[in-house]
Amino acid sequence: MTSTATTIPHAAPPYSGPRAFVQRLRHGDEIAHLITLTFAAGILLITSLLVWELWRTSYLSRTKFGWHFFWTQTWDPIFDNFGALPFIYGTLVTSVVALIIAVPLGLASAIFLSELAPRKISDAVSFLIDLLAAVPSVIYGLLGIFVVVPLMRSWLGPLLINTLGKLPGIGKLFAGPNYGVGFFTAGIVLAIMVVPFIISVSREVLLTVPREQREAALALGATRWESTWKVVVPWARTGIMGSIFLALARALGETMAVTMVIGNDPKISASLLRPGYTIAAVIANEFTEATGDLYLSALIELGLVLFLMTFILNGLARILIVATERGGGRPA
Amino acid sequence: MKKTSIVVSILLALAIAVAAQPGTILLNAAGATFPYPIYSKWFDVYHQKDPNVQINYQSIGSGGGIRQLLAGTVDFGASDGPMSDDQLKEAKFKILHFPTVLGAVIPIYNVSGVSGELNFTQKALAGIYLGTITKWNDPEIAKANSGVNLPASDIVVVHRADGSGTSYIFTDFLSKVSDDWKNKVGKGTSVQWPVGLGGKGNEGVSGLVKQTPGSVGYVELIYAVQNGITFGKVQNASGKFVKADLAGVTAAAAAAAKEMPDDFRVSITNQSGPTVYPISSFTWLLIPAQISDATKRDAIKGFLKWMLTDGQGYNEGLAYARLPKPVIEKEMKAIALIQ
Amino acid sequence: MNRALLIWRKSLNVVMLTLTGVAALSVVSVLFLILGYLIWHGGASLSWSFFTQLPKPVGETGGGMANAIVGSLKLLSLAALIGLPIGLMAGVYLAEFGGQTFSFVIRYTTDLLNGVPSIVIGIFAYSIVVLPVKHFSTLAGGFALGMMVIPITVRSTEEFLRAIPGTLREGAMALGASKWKTIATVVLPAASGGILTGMLLALARVAGETAPLLFTAFSNRYWSPGWAQPIASLPVMIYTYAIAPYDDWHRQAWAAGLVLLALVLLANLGCRLALNRGGNVRSV
C-alpha cells in the first residue's frame, strides 16, 4: 500500500535525543538560529570579559586599599598612596551642576516642543536637537577651551563671585579666585552635551500623555500652563526622571570635554570656580604614564568605580522610561 | 553583482595602499615633552636624510615614556628625569641612558601690567608652589623686583597634570632650595602638588599660562620663546639672578661634564657659579641595551651617532645647549653597549 | 481678589509659555553657534595642504592632517568590520529567534555595554589587545571602536526588523519558505534601508570618539602602514593641538573639528531624513 501521507517540508521526524539534534541541524533554520545565537552570546561574552578584566587588573589596588579607597583624598604617585574621593567628588559635582542647568532648560524645551509648537515645527526643531546630540565630545571640548573658558574668566566668573558669591551659605560655592577653568565651567559644557537627551526623551514621554488629561484640566478652567505643569508633566513624571538619569549617566562618563576645561587638580573644594578632577579625566591624563603597577591598578579601579556608577544609573533610567512608555504613566 | 565588486575593489585598493613598504624601518618612541621641539626636528631631518627610517615620537610626558618603555610598547623612551634605581630594577631588561641636549626650565607668567622680567628668589618659587605665597605683590616677590608695579591679584599656579620630567627637574630644584618642599612634597615626575591647575605636557602648561591672567608656570625654554610668553630670572646658588640662556645652561653642566658617571644619570640643578642657570638639566633617551631586531638596532645606533654629531648643530637654533664635548665622546663609546 | 488672581494666573501663563519657547530657541541656537564657530575659525584654515600634508615638526607652521584623516577612515572601517556583523546577527536573533529569558539577558547586556563610558572601553581594549602584543595598533583602536558600535547596531537592527509587519513573514512562509529563508530573502531586504542607516549612524557616533583611542591607537606623525602600528586620528589630533600653545596648531584644530563635524552631521542628516519618511529615530 502506497503511503499517501506527504511529509511536510522541514518538519522534524520524531527522533529524540542527539539524533534529533543532528536531524534538526540539517535544517537551515536551526543553523541560522545557532549562528545568530552565537553572535548574541558573543555580546554576553565580551561584556563579561570587560567586567572580568577590570576586576582582575585592579587587583593590586583593591587589595592594598580596600574600602579606604573610597574616602581617601590623597593621590600621591610618589608614595604610592591613592584615593578615589577627589575624583568621585569631581565627577558627581560636575554632573550635578550640569543637571541643574540642563534639566530646567531641557524640560522647558520639551514642554514647548510637545505642547505648544505646531507639529511640523516641533518635528523640525527636535530633528535639529537630535543633531546636537551627535556632535562629538572633543568638539565640545574645543569650544569649551576657546569660548566657555574665556567667557567664564572675563565676565561670568566675576559676575557669579560678585552676586551669588556675596550671599551667605551659598556664597561659598562661588568664592574666587577666578580661574576660568573649574567645576562650574565643566558643568556648563556638560549641560550643553546632555540637554538633547533630556529634551528628546521627555518630549516623547510628554507626547504619550493622553489628550483627555489636558482637556479635562482645561475644561476645569486651568490656563494652558497650569494644565501642562500641574497635570501633564506629573503624569509623565517617571519618564522624565528616566531621562534625567540617562543624562546623568552620560555626564558621569564624559571624558574629553571635561578634561579640557576642568583644570586637572585632584582637590575637593567648596567653591565651584576652583579646578577639580573627574574619574574619566584622570584616567585619560595619567593612564599611559602610570609608572608602577599599583598606580596603574589604582587608575583601573577608578574605571571600575565609574563603570558601576553608570551601570546603576543606566539601569534605573531604563526601568523608569520603559515603565512610563508601557504603563502610560500614572501620577506616582 | 556590481555593488559587491565595487566594494571589494575599494577594500583591496585600501589594503594595498596602506600595506607597509618593504624596507621601511618603523620605530615607535614616546616620552618627554621637554625636548619635543628638538626631537621632532631631529626625527624629521633624519627621515629626510635616510627615508627608510621613520621614528614616530609621541610626546606624552617623561612618565609616559618610562612606562611605555617598561611595558614594551615602544622601541625607546625619553625622559628628563633619569630613571630611579627602583624603576631600573622593575624593568625586565637593562636600560641605557643617553643624554641628548641640555635645556632649561623657566618660570613663565602672565601678569597684567608686567611685561618685563621678574626676578624670582628661590624662596619665592618654593613659596608660590607650596601655596604659602598667594598674591603677586607678596613681599618675597616684591623685594627682588623693586620698581615693578606688582598687582595685588591672586597667583594662579599651573603645574603638570601628567607624569613629567620637567616636573622632575623643577621639583628637584625646589627640593634642593627648600627643606619645606623636600619634606612636604619631594621630587618626582608626578608629585602631590599643594596647589594649582594641571596642564598636559609642556604644551598644556604653556597654553594655560598664555590664556590665564595672573598665572605662573614652569616649562622648557623653547616653549616660551616659540609662543612669546614672558619668563623671569631665577636666583642661583651664588645669589645672582640669571635669565635662562645657552651660556647659563652650559655653565651648569660644566662640573658634570668633567665627572659624568658611566650611566649618565646626573642632576645639574642649583650648581654653584655666578653665571650658572639653576634650573638646568640634561634630557635622556632611554634605550634598551638588548635589541633583538637587527634592523631596528642599527637604525637606532645610526640615529644616535648622527644625533651626537650633526644633530647637535640644531640645538642652539631651538634654544637648547649642546652637549659638552667630553660627554659626547663618552656617549659615542657607550653606543657600542647596545647589542 | 478673584480678578487679581485671574490676572496673575493669566500673566504667569504667558510668561512661562514664552520661557519654554526661549529655552527651546536657545538650545537650537547652540547648535548653530557651534557650527558657526567652527566654520568661522576652521574654514579659514582649510586648505589643500591640510588634506594632503603630514604634520610638521613642533613649532613650525604649516603641514596638515592627511594621515589623521586616513587614519580615522581606517579605524572606522575596522570598527565596522568588527562591530557591524556582530550587531546585525545579534539584532536578527533578538527580533526573530529569541526566547524569553535569553533575549532579556542579551538586551540587558547590550544596554550595559552601551552605557560603558568610552574611557573604560579604552582600558579594556588596552588590556586585551595592546598588552599581550606590547604594541599600540590600529587593530586595538578599531577593536575599541567596534565594541562601541555593537550595542547601537543591535538596537537599531532589532527595531527595524520588528517594524516589518508579521503579514510579510507569514506570506513568505505560506509559500513554503523556511524561517531562515524568510528572514534572508524577505524580511532583511525589507528592513535593509533602516538597518543600513542605523549602521551608518553607529559609525558616525564612534567617528568622533577620542578617549578610547588615547591608549589603543595612540597616534602617529607619519602614515601608518598595515594594521599593527599606532595611527593618527582626527579626534586625537584635535585634542592634542587644542591644548597646546601654538596658534598654528589651534587653527588646524578648528579645521579638523570642522571636517569631523561636517562628516558626522552629514551622516546624521542623511540618515535621519531617510528614516523620517518611515518613523522616528531616537538618538538615545
The predicted complex's ipTM stands at 0.85
pLDDT at res. C276: 67
Residue-level pLDDT at C277: 58
Q: Which of B28, B62, B66, B67 to mutate to test the interface with A (most CBs of A within 10 A)?
A: B67
Please tell me the predicted confidence (pLDDT) of residue B271: 87
Q: Grid coordinates in use for C139?
A: 587593530
Q: Is the Cβ–Cβ distance between B78 and B55 less than 8 Å?
A: no
Domain C69-278 fold is MetI-like fold (1.10.3720)
Q: What is the pLDDT of residue A8?
A: 53
pLDDT digits (tens, 9 = 90+) for C123-176: 999 989 988 888 899 999 999 999 999 999 998 898 888 888 889 888 988 888
Nearest to A293 by CA among A32, A60, A108: A60
In chain A, the residue whose alpha carbon lies closest to the alpha carbon of B187 is A78
pLDDT mean over B19-29:
75
State chain B's mean pLDDT as an integer.
87
| Model confidence pLDDT, tens digit, residues A53-100 | 999 999 988 898 888 888 888 888 777 888 899 999 999 999 999 999
CB A139 within 8 A of CB B157: no
Mean pLDDT of all residues in B124-144: 93
Instruction: Provide the 10 A C-beta neighbour count for residue C74.
Output: 23
Q: With 80 as the cut, is the pLDDT of residue B9 above it?
A: no
pLDDT for B189 equals 82
Give me the pLDDT at residue A326, please.
66
For the stretch C63-111, pLDDT in tens is 888 899 999 999 999 999 999 999 999 999 998 887 788 888 898 889 8
CATH number at residue A321: 1.10.3720.10
Tell me if A170 is assigned to some domain.
Answer: yes
CB of A116 less than 8 A from some CB of C: yes
Same-domain check for residues A87 and A178: yes
Helices (runs of H) and strands (runs of E) counted in chain A? 16, 2
> For position B13, what pLDDT does the model report?
56
Phi-psi region of A221 (alpha: psi -120 to 50; beta: other; left: phi over 0): left
Whole-number pLDDT of residue B132: 94
pTM (predicted TM-score): 0.85
Q: Is residue A136 part of a domain?
A: yes
Do B106 and B218 meet the contact criterion of CB atoms below 8 Å apart?
A: yes
For B84, the closest chain A residue by CA position comes to A291
- The number of distinct structural domains making up chain A is 2
Whether residues B26 and C225 touch (CB distance < 8 A) is answered with: yes
Predicted local distance difference test score (pLDDT) of residue A292: 76
Beta bridge partners of A203: none
**Residue B21: pLDDT over 80:** no
Is residue B95 within a helix (H) or strand (E), and if so which, with residue range? Answer: strand B95-110
Q: Where are the alpha helices (DSSP H) in C175-246?
A: 179-182, 188-207, 234-242
CB of C20 closer than 8 Å to CB of A112: yes
Report which DSSP code applies to C186.
I
pLDDT in the model for residue A9: 54
Q: What is the mean pLDDT of residues B19-28?
A: 73
- Chain A CB within 8 Å of residue B151 CB: no
- The answer on A51 and A135 residing in a single domain is no
A280 and A176 in one domain?
Answer: yes
Contacts of B146 by beta carbon, 8 Å cutoff, 6+ apart? none
* CB-count exposure of residue C170 (10 Å: 0-12, 13-18, 19+): exposed
* Chain C contact present for B223, CB below 8 A: yes
Q: Is residue A205 a part of any domain in this protein?
A: yes
* Strand-pair category, B233-235 with B119-120: parallel
Most confident of A185-189, A259-263, C98-102, C199-203: A185-189
Q: What domain range includes position A25?
A: 4-57
| pLDDT above 60 (res A4) | no
Q: Which of A154-158, B331-335, C18-22, C273-277 has the lowest mean pLDDT?
A: C273-277
pLDDT given at position C278: 46
Cβ–Cβ of C219/B40 closer than 8 Å?
A: no
Read off the pLDDT band of C280 (50, 70, 90). Answer: very low
List, in sequence order, every residue forming a beta bridge with C221; answer none if it has no partner.
Answer: none
Domain assignment present for A65: no
Instruction: Answer yes or no: do C21 and A47 touch at CB < 8 A.
Output: no
Q: How far is C28 from chain A (nearest CA, A)?
A: 6
For residue range A197-214, list pLDDT tens digits in order. Answer: 899 889 988 888 888 888
User: Which tens digits make up the pLDDT trace of A244-300?
Assistant: 888 888 888 889 899 889 988 888 888 898 899 999 999 988 888 777 788 889 999
Q: What pLDDT is stored for residue C1 in this prediction?
A: 65
Binned at pLDDT 50, 70 and 90, residue B77 comes out as very high
Q: What is the DSSP string of B242-292?
A: E---HHHHHHHHHHHHHT--TT-----TT--STT--SSEEEEEEEEES---
Cis peptide before A177 (omega within 30 of 0): yes
The band of A163, judged by pLDDT with boundaries at 50, 70 and 90, is confident
pLDDT one-digit tens code per residue, B265-320 = 888 888 888 899 999 999 999 999 988 888 999 999 999 999 999 999 999 888 88
Q: Which of B85, B92, B190, B206 to mutate to test the interface with A (most CBs of A within 10 A)?
A: B190
* CA-to-CA separations, C134 to A50, A132, A151, B291, C249, in angstroms, rounded: 19, 38, 44, 15, 31
Chain A interface mutation, best of C88, C100, C124, C254, highest count of A Cβ atoms under 10 Å: C124
Q: Do A42 and A147 belong together in one domain? A: no
Q: Is the CB of B99 inside 8 Å of chain C's CB atoms?
A: no
pLDDT band at B147 (very low <50, low <70, confident <90, very high): confident
Same domain? A110 vs A39: no
Question: How many contacts, defined by CB atoms under 8 Å, are there between A and C?
Answer: 274
Asked if B193 and A265 come within 8 Å (Cβ–Cβ), the reply is: yes
Residue-level pLDDT at C282: 47
A150 and A47 in a common domain: no
What b-and-e string marks burial along B300-327, b requiring 16 or more CB atoms within 10 Å of the CB? bbbbbebbbeebbebbeebbbbbbbeeb
pLDDT average, residue stretch C222-249: 88
pLDDT single digits (tens) B103-130:
999 999 999 888 888 999 999 999 999 9
C-beta separation of A115 from A228 below 8 A = yes
**Is B52's Cβ below 8 Å from some Cβ in C?**
no
pLDDT at B232 over 60: yes
Overall average pLDDT of the A159-188 stretch: 85
